[in-house]
Amino acid sequence: MGMSLEERVRSAVAGLLYASGESQTELATALGVSQAQVSRRQAGTATWTLTDCEAVAAHYGIDVFDLLAGPTRATEALPAERRRLPGRQAGTARPAGVDGGV
């Protein structure tokens, strides 16, 4: 049997965090929650609600259905401007004014 919906969402969020180079703290700030709340949701001791899923999808600029579909679809849907820059470490803020190298 495949992953449960909850597992797909947790995996998709993990994939988006990695692909974007964001930390849980940065995602938490964008969602208006604490890093501990994001950590609990990612660990499976708390659940991502549908409202949370909508907020995560909006934050990353993807459709909520892509998030619910799992990590592959979610990361493929991530807009190029949200992707980690080459050589950029995860959890480091992107400098203001970065415009994709144009």
Q: Where are the domains of the chain?
A: 5-80
pLDDT digits (tens, 9 = 90+) for 36-50: 999 999 999 999 999
Q: Count the alpha carbons within 13 Å of 101 in the hemisphere toward its beta carbon.
A: 7
pTM as predicted? 0.82
Q: Are 42 and 17 in contact (CB under 8 A)?
A: no
**Separation in Å, CA 97 to CA 2, 20, 100:** 41, 16, 9
Domain at 5-80: CATH code: 1.10.260.40
pLDDT digits (tens, 9 = 90+) for 50-75: 999 999 999 999 999 999 999 999 99
